Amino acid sequence: MNKLTRLTIVWTLLLLFSLTLLAPIGQAATIIAQPGDVNETVGEINAMLKATGYYYGTVSNTYGTATKSAVLIFQRAHGLTSTGTVDQATYDALKAEYAAKTGNSSVPSTPREPAVPKTPASPSTPTAPVPSSEPAAAPTPKPDSSYTPEKVPGLTADEQKMLDMVNQERAKAGVAPLKIDMRMVQTARAKSKDMIDNNYFSHTSPTLGGFASQIRTATGGDYSAVAENLSGGKTVEAAMKAFMNSAGHRKNILNPKFTHIGIGIVSGGPYGQMYTQHFGG
């Protein structure tokens, strides 16, 4: 074998080895959907996650905290790289499980909102203005937005901060501040820790059960109405922003029927910290 032949073989082997290394890298870089996306593909992913038992929220086209948590749980259950982002391997595995459980090989679609009919053009003939016989409405008085924070013994600094932010929002809305119930602080902390320990994000715990029974058992049935807010994030400010930007969570925070709250913040999990708010009234 001459020198030229040997060089040709060496370069060929090096080229094949390089292609072998590059192939999986290119495949792993294929991202189907990721946190922050809002599109129909995300809606299909949420629908498949819900049908296979990994997603508990309302199916939408938004890739939010609940979607990321469900994807992480799915990836861990299937031995995939746990990123919370749907790559090609995760998407293919999800479609396969969806088809196996539902018998439907086609990807589900999310319902589309009906198109808003166009407003007809106004007529060219001018119309005479009609005088109003109703008196002008009286200006709505502004609610009392003042709130003086009170330090509560037994709360962590972050829990105290969230309590103050909750009551500041209630003051802006003209609603009485919530008082701390340390029994619900304990249930809220237990729920946050349970979500971290068992890798889930849901109002129903695989170990603690539903939040309503958890609260009522701990408080001896003192409250006829109870509610729960859940979030994950690195800061109290980010968690509160997420709560106030969500109609359901905002309603719980501002509900005048609730008189007491328990807040449990535990470090850990895929988001840095888990936040649980338990309400009673």
Q: What are phi and psi of 205, to 5 degrees?
A: -90, 140
> What residue type is assigned to position 250 of the chain?
R
C-alpha to C-alpha distances, 214 to 57, 204, 228, 230, 269, nearest whole angstrom: 20, 10, 11, 15, 22
Q: What's the count of helices (H) and strands (E) in the chain, helices before strands?
A: 9, 8
List domains and CATH numbers for the chain. Answer: 31-102 (1.10.101.10), 157-280 (3.40.33.10)
What confidence category does residue 5 fall into, taking pLDDT thresholds of 50, 70 and 90?
Answer: low
What confidence category does residue 16 fall into, taking pLDDT thresholds of 50, 70 and 90?
Answer: low
In which element (H, E) is residue 281 found?
Answer: none
Q: What is the pLDDT of residue 6?
A: 62
Q: What is the pLDDT of residue 120?
A: 44
Is residue 126's pLDDT more than 50? no
- CB 230 within 8 Å of CB 276: yes
Model pLDDT for residues 183-214, shown as the tens digit of each residue: 999 999 999 999 999 999 999 999 999 999 99
pLDDT, average across residues 266-280:
96
Is residue 78's pLDDT more than 90? no
How much is the pTM? 0.52
Q: What is the rounded distance in angstroms from the CA atom of residue 219 to the CA atom of residue 249?
A: 22
Model pLDDT for residues 129-183, shown as the tens digit of each residue: 444 334 444 444 444 556 778 899 999 999 999 999 999 999 999 999 999 999 9
